[in-house]
Structure formats: C-alpha cells, structure tokens
Structure 1
Amino acid sequence: MQYRVQGIVIRSMDYGEGNKIISLFTREYGKMSVVARGAKKVKSRYGSSAQLFTFGDYLFYKNGQLGTLNHAEIIEPYHKIREDLHRAAHASYLAEMTERMMGDQEGQPFLFDQLKASMTAIQEDKDYEIIDHFYEMKMLTYAGYTPELDQCMVCRESSEAVALSIGLGGILCEKCILRDPQAIRISSGVFKLLRVFVQTDVRRLGQIDVKPQTKALLKHIMRSYFDTHVGLRLKSRDFLDQMDKYGV
C-alpha cells in the first residue's frame, strides 16, 4: 500500500552499508517505520530528509513492518535544533519519549500537533524545560495517567490543593495530606502551572517566566510522576541529567 504523509523523524538509525531506517510520527497514522535506501551516502537524495527532527512530506510503499521511501520533500529542517547541543538534547528527549510510548500506526493528530509545536518552541528558544513538561503531560494523558487536579484523591472534595501524591495520582488537601507521607507539598503557583500543562495546547504557548526554585520542584514532580506511572528509562533523559550535573 502506498502512503503519502506529513511526518516528523523521531528516530534515525543506520541499516546496512548505505541505508537508514527512520521512524516517522505522522498525523494520520501515528508512528511508521520506513527504509530510506542510500540515505547514508554523501550525495543521497534522502540524506537530509532522513535526519532526526526533520518535518516533511514522505511518500513510501509499505507491505509489512517496514515501508520503502520513494520520495521526500522537507518542509521544516529544524536546523537550529541540530546545530545546538541544548536544543538537540531536549528535542531528542521529546522524540524518544514519543517513539517509545506510541504504538505502530496509532493515529494521534493532537499529539502530532503538540510534538510539532514543541519542536518549533525549542527552535524559537522558549524555555526548554517548560516545553518538556508540557509535552510530558500530553504523553501522560495519552497513556491514561493524567494527574487528578480537580479534587482531593482521598476525600474527593474540591478543597485547596496543598500537596501532590505521586502514588495516588493527584492532589491532596490539608486534612488528607497525612494519608501519604511521601506527598510533595506544592504552592498555589506550582498547582496552577500543573493545570496549565494539562489544559493548554502547546501551539498557544507564549513566553513563560518561571523562577528557578519553582522549575526545580516542577522537574522533581514530573520526573517522579513519569517514573512511577510510566516507568520508561530514556537514554535522552539520562543525557539531560548528565548535562545538568556537569553544568554543560
């Protein structure tokens, strides 16, 4: 069957002497794997279109697990992402998260738009860590692990949130906070940002100014929640942590 799709390259790996296998995240069909023959060669017509993060039009024939690329036209190469270590590291995190969490050929138009908007936001130098959290929350929602932010997880009342229980999967009020000794105390500002991550389309993201201590707490919350409920070990996230550790 022949496909013509718009897609973002979320993985690119060598295959044989001169070929690459690319994973495309497409609007209509979700994740699809395609062989780009000759893409490793210097004068290949597919060299640029098979690079990680590239957004383009792809035409391929698919009969089984792998498609064979017949034509590609680049729409947005995202050069600025690939040319900068920090941009590339954060974009790689979003790409690997998508590649690992999405099943093959699961059409997710909204998630496609969120990933594309996130890549654009990284290229435009918006806050990389905040972009990560927006997209993490979209992927958590896709996987069915959206945190409960409207009512206390214990008493089920719409009381003021004072803590987030990672294990219970949502907020706790003051009278119920002792039900989870591991609950993380949160300010009203952190609570509002968590709700923004859930409710706001990344395509509408403007500049967000977040204090360093607030960003550190948000990172702790999102990492803990992701690890508890999804449990994927991502190499790109380990690389981000190494960059933070050594002040790169």
Structure 2
Amino acid sequence: MYYGSRAIILKSLDYQDADKLVTIFSEREGKIRAVAKGVKKPKSSLRAVLQPFTHSFLYLSRGRDLDLITQGRLLDFYPRIREDLGSTLYTAYIMELLDKSLVERAPLGPLYNETLQVLNYINDKGAKSLVIRYFEIRLIQELGYRPVLEACAACGQKNLTTRFNLAEGGVLCHDCAGFLKTDFMLSGEAFSLLKFLQRADWKSLDRIKASSEALSSLEQLLEKYLEYHLESRFSLKNTIYQLKKSLPGAFDKG
C-alpha cells in the first residue's frame, strides 16, 4: 500500500550500505520508522528531504515492520535554526522528546501542528526558554498527563500549596502535603506561570514576562515530570546544561 503524508524528520541512522533508517512524525500515521534506500549517495534526491527536523512531504510504501520511503519533497528546512547553536540543540531536544514519547502508528494531529508551530517560532525568533516550556506542556497534555493545578491532585481539596507530587500528577493541599512526598517545591511565580501556560496559545507567548528563576524552576519540574511519566531520560538536556555553563551567550534568548 502506497501513501503520502506531510512529515517532520525526528532522526536518521545508518542502516545498510547506502541506506538510512529514518524516524518520522507524520501527519497521517503518527510516528513511524522507514527505510530510505540509497540516501547516503551524493546524488540522492532524498538527502535534503530527510535531514533531522526538516518538514517534508513523503511518499511511502507500507511494510510489515518498516515502511519504505520512495519519494519526497522539501517543505521547510528551517535554515535560521541551523545557523544558531542554541536553536539547533533545543530543536534536537524537541525531536528527542517526540521520539521517546510517541508510540508508533498513533496519529496526533494537534501535536503535529504544535510541533510545526514551535519549529516556525524558533526559526523566526530563536529558542526562547518560555517557548520550549510551552511545547513541553502541550506534549504532556496531548499524552494525557496534564498536571492537576486547580485542586489537590490526591484528594481534590482546594486549600492548595505549591508542593508538587510526581506520582499524583499535580500539587497537593495542606493536609496531603503533610504525609505525601513533595518531589518539587514551586515558587508562587513558577506555579502561576505553569497555570498560565496550560491555557495559553502561541499568540500570547511574546507578552509573557517571567523571571529567570521562575523559568529555571519550571524547567526543572517539567524535566522531572517527563522523565517520571515517560520512564526515560533525555540525553540532550545534559548537553544543553553543560553548554549553558561554558557558552551562556548561545542560550540567553529569554
């Protein structure tokens, strides 16, 4: 069976001879793995089409285990992302997030569109910390792990603290905080920022003002939350942390 779909290239690995095994997030099929034959040859028409975090339209043949990419055309290469170290690494991190969180053959149209939005934003305006956090929250919600912030995640009471419990999936009330583990303590600003980002849209992001402390706190919480629920660690986050220390100017987009 042959089919076509818009697709975001998550990663590609050497496979056999001149072939590559490509993991893509397709609009029609969700995450799939497919073989691109001869793509490592210099004259292959698929070389540019299958670069990581490109947006392409692909034609594929469905296989039992792996699909086969037969043709493709480039829709967007996001050149400004590739010219900036911070933008490149944060975009690669987003691709890693998607690869490790999505199950195969499960279409997620809204998340696909959100991913295109974040790629366009980073290409146009740079990889702002707030935008990466916003995308993480969108991903968490699409996967069904939306944090509980309006009532106690354990008992439903409203007398809330800003103590976050990973297993319960949200903040705790004063009573439950007395006997349940506090995995993360949010500041008042970070808690308000998290609540706002849960209901925000792309148009509102440029109007948000947040301190570096609140953004850092939210980043740490979301990292722990994703690792807990996805049962996976993200190698690029450690790379980003290390480079932030040695090359802070590459990551000061806000």
Between the aligned residues of both structures, percent identity stands at: 22
1:149 is displaced (CA, Å) by 0.8
Whole-Å Cα distance in 1 between the matches of residues 98 and 166 of structure 2? Answer: 22
Whole-Å Cα distance in 2 between the matches of residues 61 and 4 of structure 1? Answer: 9
1:29 is displaced (CA, Å) by 1.0
Letter in 2 for 1:231: E
Is structure 2 residue 236 aligned with structure 1 residue 242?
no
Note the 1:1-248 alignment, pairs <5 A.
1-174=1-174, 176-180=176-180, 182-201=182-201, 203-204=202-203, 206-207=205-206, 208-248=208-248
Q: 1:233 to 1:60 in 2, by over 3 A?
A: same
Q: 1:238 to 1:185 in 2, by over 3 A?
A: closer
Whole-Å Cα distance in 1 between the matches of residues 183 and 21 of structure 2? Answer: 43
Deviations 1:169-211 (A, max 9, x none): 211244543334535333443222212332234x445324321
Whole-Å Cα distance in 2 between the matches of residues 126 and 173 of structure 1? Answer: 38
Letter in 1 for 2:144: G
Contact 1:20-1:50 at 8 Å conserved across structures: no
Contact 2:87-2:126 at 8 Å conserved across structures: no
Contact 1:161-1:191 at 8 Å conserved across structures: no
1:64 is displaced (CA, Å) by 1.6
Contact 1:59-1:69 at 8 Å conserved across structures: yes
TM-score (normalised: structure 1): 0.89
Moved more, 126-135 or 63-72: 126-135
Match of 2:67, SS state, is strand
Match of 2:117, SS state, is helix
1:142 is displaced (CA, Å) by 3.2
Moved more, 151-160 or 91-100: 151-160
Match of 1:70, SS state, is strand
1:163 is displaced (CA, Å) by 2.8
Deviations 1:27-79 (A, max 9, x none): 22101222222222222211100100110111111222222222211111111
Moved more, 171-180 or 28-37: 171-180
Q: 1:205 to 1:33 in 2, by over 3 A?
A: farther
Deviations 1:92-115 (A, max 9, x none): 111111111111110110110111
Moved more, 157-166 or 133-142: 157-166
Q: Which runs of 5+ in 1 are unaligned?
A: none
Letter in 2 for 1:97: L
Residue-pair matches, total: 247
Moved more, 177-186 or 84-93: 177-186
Whole-Å Cα distance in 2 between the matches of residues 70 and 127 of structure 1? Answer: 33
Contact 2:164-2:182 at 8 Å conserved across structures: no
Whole-Å Cα distance in 1 between the matches of residues 31 and 226 of structure 2? Answer: 21
1:139 is displaced (CA, Å) by 2.5
Match of 2:61, SS state, is strand
Letter in 2 for 1:206: L
Contact 1:177-1:183 at 8 Å conserved across structures: no
Q: 1:117 to 1:156 in 2, by over 3 A?
A: same
Contact 2:131-2:205 at 8 Å conserved across structures: no
